[in-house]
Chain A
Amino acid sequence: MGVLSILDRSHSVAKPGFSRWMVPPAALCIHLCIGQAYAFSVFNLPMSKLIGITKPDPDDWKLTDLGWIFSIAIFVLGFSAAVLGRWVEEGGPRRTMFTSALFFGGGFLISAFGVSVHQLWIVYLGYGVLGGIGLGLGYISPVSTLIKWFPDRPGMSTGMAIMGFGGAAMIAAPLSVWLISVFSTPTHVGVAETFVVLGLVYACFMMVGAAIVRLPPPGWKPEGYVPPTQPKKLVTTKDVYVYQALKTPQFWLIWIVLCMNVTAGIGVLSQASAMSQEMFPGRVTAATAGGFVGLLSIFNMAGRFFWASTSDYIGRKNTYFIFFVLGFVLYALVPYFGGAGNLALFVLGFCVILSMYGGGFATVPAYLKDMFGTRYVGAIHGMLITAWSVAGVLGPVLVNYIRQYQLDSGVPKAQAYNVTMYIMAGLLVVGFIANALIKAVDDRHHMEPETVDDVVGVA
């Protein structure tokens, strides 16, 4: 236990001279690893050929069963972030990052065992449950730390970390494909070995983040930073206790804002490849559609930093208003771009949409900080992540089922997404209304200063 005390919150406090610019790389060490989840689909096909190798075998796992690995991981991500948020806040970032690394890396190792003995339930348990807990802890752990180090630029700071989550698949996908090819032989698919390597590499990378991260000393402020003496209308200087936040309408309105923004974006992202090929038959092939998806990933990542940083200047509420208004216009125009055969505008429209999808994720921690203060923002953010879990199911289901309904009704493939785009635009109207209803949190929900000290438990 003595050795593990270095993980304590009290041992994570920065000494004089520590630069706050060390904290974003620490956060990125975590998010660049756990964002691998977005690239997990590269394992599905190889894992469906573990026995048959080159020909179908009835004992091989089916793609539909393999799809559950990712779904379980994302569900557990939301669940663990919601349930363990308070533990994250009170234990500090280093303990959480360390635990996240053990769970995420360990999940890969257990999955490797599951693959080697060909037991899918072990992979569900490994990557899905244990890896999912690592995902949830890792996702929220750096958020409140960054906000405390960057009170002058909370959007930019959390945008940097969450940008890593969006960009991680760009590293993980080619790395995983390469590792599988290295470990594969004519009689063996090298998934288990790839899982072992990834588990160890990710655990080590995340441990570096846990080692670097520091909390600011109590009362620390950036040099030259003067906290606003006159609080802004929608930026509180007080704190709301984690479970008290659930009793405020603001929490649930922001939940709807995030859910609508994510539902629209994730629906498109999940079908981007097929959609581009079907809307531009003959012009977009499977290979070029892969390039389109890659381009969307870059805008998804860049939007996280750009929009969250912009929100520091124009405010969170205005940033989401831009997402909903501009998103509505673009979703409504996409069918027109498709009908006119204008590929360039189609691609540009979706790139902007995906930048706002990423921006929605990255701006929301700062929105919560504005509403509920910095003390429990990580835990409150954890509970808000459930909106992502819901959207993760809602978005793809909406796109898939409406497309199928359109095709069954005799609509040509090239126009099968038109109604979906209009429904997505409608979801953004719901988000716009929820955002418009957000006002400052009532004073009765704020913690008294002495309560804050009791709960914080550090100077």
Chain B
Amino acid sequence: MDNDSNGGGTTPLELVLAWGFVGIPLLWGVYGTLVNALKLFQ
């Protein structure tokens, strides 16, 4: 956990879930765009 927390509040699991909730769709979008962008250099 981040050292700004005072312990007992936010758990590491909550942090992973929160970041995964937004990170997975974003990475999926970036991956698809990168694959498409590679056509430019083929």
Considering the complex, give the chain B residue whose CB is closest to the CB of A224.
B3
Cα–Cα, bound, A79→B38 (Å): 39
Cα–Cα, bound, A301→B15 (Å): 23
Which of A20, A164, A170 is most buried by chain B, counting CB atoms within 10 A of its CB? Answer: A170
**Which of B9, B19, B28 contacts A15, CB < 8 Å?**
B9
A301 — which chain B residues lie within 8 A by C-beta?
A: 30
B18 — which chain A residues lie within 8 A by C-beta?
A: 22, 25-26, 212
**Which of B1, B26, B28, B42 contacts A164, CB < 8 Å?**
B26
**Which of A16, A167, A347 contacts B29, CB < 8 Å?**
A167
**Which of A25, A208, A284, A290 contacts B19, CB < 8 Å?**
A25
Cα–Cα, bound, A294→B35 (Å): 9
Q: A16-B9, A171-B29, A212-B18 are in contact. Are A291 and B36 (CB under 8 A)?
A: yes
**Chain A residues touching B, majority SS:** helix
A25 touches B9 (CB 8 A): no
The digit string for B11-24, where 1 denotes a CB below 8 A from any CB of A, is: 00011001101110
Q: A22-B18, A288-B39 are in contact. Are A222 and B4 (CB under 8 A)?
A: yes
B26 touches A167 (CB 8 A): yes
**Which of B5, B15, B30 contacts A17, CB < 8 Å?**
B5
B33 touches A21 (CB 8 A): no
B6 CB to nearest A CB, Å: 5
**Which of B15, B29, B37, B38 contacts A21, CB < 8 Å?**
B15
B11 CB to nearest A CB, Å: 9
Interface size of A as a range: 35 or more
Q: A21-B2, A22-B18 are in contact. Are A32 and B26 (CB under 8 A)?
A: yes
A294 touches B7 (CB 8 A): no
Tell yes or no: A429 within 8 A of B by CB: no
Tell yes or no: A181 within 8 A of B by CB: no
B8 touches A298 (CB 8 A): no
Interface size on B, residues (CB 8 A): 31
Cα–Cα, bound, A28→B22 (Å): 6
A404 CB to nearest B CB, Å: 26
**CB-based A-B contact count at 8 angstroms:** 98
A224 — which chain B residues lie within 8 A by C-beta?
A: 3
B8 touches A16 (CB 8 A): yes
B28 — which chain A residues lie within 8 A by C-beta?
A: 171
Q: A25-B21, A167-B26, A170-B30 are in contact. Are A18 and B39 (CB under 8 A)?
A: no
A294 touches B33 (CB 8 A): yes
**Which of B6, B30, B36 contacts A16, CB < 8 Å?**
B6
A284 — which chain B residues lie within 8 A by C-beta?
A: 40
A292 touches B15 (CB 8 A): no
B25 — which chain A residues lie within 8 A by C-beta?
A: 32, 171
Interface residue ranges of A268-299 to B (CB < 8 Å): 284, 287-288, 290-292, 294-295, 297-298
Q: A22-B14, A171-B29 are in contact. Are A298 and B34 (CB under 8 A)?
A: yes
B37 touches A29 (CB 8 A): no
B32 — which chain A residues lie within 8 A by C-beta?
A: 170, 174
Interface residue ranges of A66-117 to B (CB < 8 Å): none
The digit string for A133-167, where 1 denotes a CB below 8 A from any CB of B, is: 00000000000000000000000000000001001
Cα–Cα, bound, A442→B42 (Å): 56
Tell yes or no: A408 within 8 A of B by CB: no
Q: A16-B9, A21-B15, A212-B18 are in contact. Are A167 and B3 (CB under 8 A)?
A: no
Q: A26-B18, A288-B40, A295-B37 are in contact. Are A223 and B3 (CB under 8 A)?
A: yes
Top 4 A-B pairs ranked by shortest CB distance?
A: A17-B9, A170-B29, A171-B29, A19-B10
Q: Which residues of A contact B (CB under 8 A)?
A: 14-22, 25-26, 28-29, 32, 164, 167-171, 174, 208, 212, 222-224, 284, 287-288, 290-292, 294-295, 297-298, 301, 347
Return 8 A-B CB contacts under 8 Å, by A number. A26-B18, A29-B22, A290-B36, A290-B39, A291-B37, A294-B37, A295-B33, A298-B34
10 A-B pairs besides A26-B18, A298-B33 with CB distance below 8 A are A18-B5, A18-B10, A21-B19, A22-B18, A28-B22, A28-B26, A29-B22, A174-B29, A288-B42, A291-B36
